[in-house]
Structure 1
């Protein structure tokens, strides 16, 4: 399975509910708030009460594995060959850190935080995370099967 990798222009990725994309102001204000996230992940409140997930730390290439409800962030590897299989194989033994809780009304869109939400998919690449409405804890782990391969993985764990 080939993954679609997204890049930013050097800043963080933002993950916003599709229904509130128009509230993300990019460089007009929200981008600065996203850049203040120092850890791997953070939650920002949007003007309408919705929440956005920030992928902080380094601006790493990122792909979505829908069957695992997981974002994969490329730290280093020799090639793109078999990344999905490497991640799948590493999940059972990964040491997961519990992350922030994100509430969403449903489908999410990930894109470069520097852009307006209305530009996602047009002026900037984006990917859709098809999650149902609810609350999700976003846990993180590193998958490093050898000294030449490393990925950060963030999985969405539905809370009841």
Structure 2
């Protein structure tokens, strides 16, 4: 798994086609920091929507086979994270989240950066979602007292 970090703020998930509209600390970052929920949706200048991963600035990775963002709260090692999440998906108590529309590929990165800096000044992860509408549900996976992950799944709506 490839884990991303922020410099202390939230992650943002923006459609690749709308990256030019994310203004980072020049404007949009403050709006992202106002999201107090686990996830929230912001409107962008061109009518696109961006997903904010609120709460704490946790290390985050994407598991495309499950359409799940994994946020590292605490664990002893990275050794079996994928297996822990796979099992946790079956027993998780999901909290329904906001709906997000996208016209295709989306990119997750540190909300402090300009969208045009993705791939140059800031690391990013592409999320393999097709065009459509998704509900972003959240849950915790805590198989023991030494391990805790927060997960967000993208549920395609028809």
Report the TM-score range of the alignment, normalised by the length of the smaller protein. Answer: over 0.9
| Offset at residue 111 of structure 1 (A) | 0.1
Aligned pairs (5 A) from 1:145-156: 145-156=143-154
RMSD: 0.4
1:117 to 115, 118, 123: 115
Q: 1:24 aligns to what?
A: 22
| Offset at residue 130 of structure 1 (A) | 1.2
Q: Within 2, Cα distance between the matches of 1:130 and 1:17? A: 11
Secondary structure of the corresponding residue to residue 62 of structure 2: strand
User: What runs of 5+ residues in structure 2 fail to find an aligned partner?
Assistant: none
2:75 to 61, 74, 77: 77
1:4 to 2, 5, 11: 2
Q: Within 2, Cα distance between the matches of 1:127 and 1:33? A: 21
Q: Within 1, Cα distance between the matches of 2:119 and 2:153? A: 23
Q: Within 2, Cα distance between the matches of 1:121 and 1:64? A: 17
Q: Within 1, Cα distance between the matches of 2:82 and 2:4? A: 15
Q: Within 2, Cα distance between the matches of 1:148 and 1:111? A: 28
Q: Within 2, Cα distance between the matches of 1:136 and 1:106? A: 11
User: What runs of 5+ residues in structure 1 fail to find an aligned partner?
Assistant: none
Aligned pairs (5 A) from 1:1-160: 3-160=1-158
Runs of 4+ aligned residues of structure 1 deviating over 6 Å after TM superposition are none
How many residues align? The count is: 158
Q: Within 2, Cα distance between the matches of 1:93 and 1:9? A: 32
Q: Within 1, Cα distance between the matches of 2:103 and 2:36? A: 26
| Offset at residue 135 of structure 1 (A) | 0.2
- For normalisation by structure 1, the TM-score amounts to 0.98
Q: Within 1, Cα distance between the matches of 2:71 and 2:28? A: 22
- For normalisation by structure 2, the TM-score amounts to 0.99
CA offsets, 1:13-49, max 9 Å, x none? 0000000000000000000000000011000000000
Q: Within 2, Cα distance between the matches of 1:126 and 1:28? A: 19
